[in-house]
Amino acid sequence: MSLLPLTLAQLFGDGSSQDSQYLILQKADLPLTANLNNSAEQVLAAICLKALESMQGSITDEASDIISDENGSALIEYDESDLYELLRIFRWKSYYVSRDSAYYERKQIIIQYFS
Higher pLDDT, 53 or 1: 53
pLDDT of amino acid 1: 59
Distant-in-sequence, close-in-space partners of 33: CB < 8 Å, separation ≥ 6: none
pLDDT digits 0-9 by tens, 10-35: 889 899 999 999 999 999 999 999 99
Residues shown for the chain: 115
Distance of CA 40 to the CA centre of its chain: 16
- Quick: pLDDT tens for 47-78: 998 888 888 888 888 887 888 888 877 788 88
Q: How confident is the model at residue 92 (pLDDT cuts 50, 70, 90)?
A: confident
32 in Cβ contact with 46 (< 8 Å): yes
Beta bridge partners of 66: 60
- Give the residue extent of every domain in the chain: 8-113
Q: pTM score, two decimals?
A: 0.74
Which uninterrupted H or E stretch holds 106?
strand 102-113
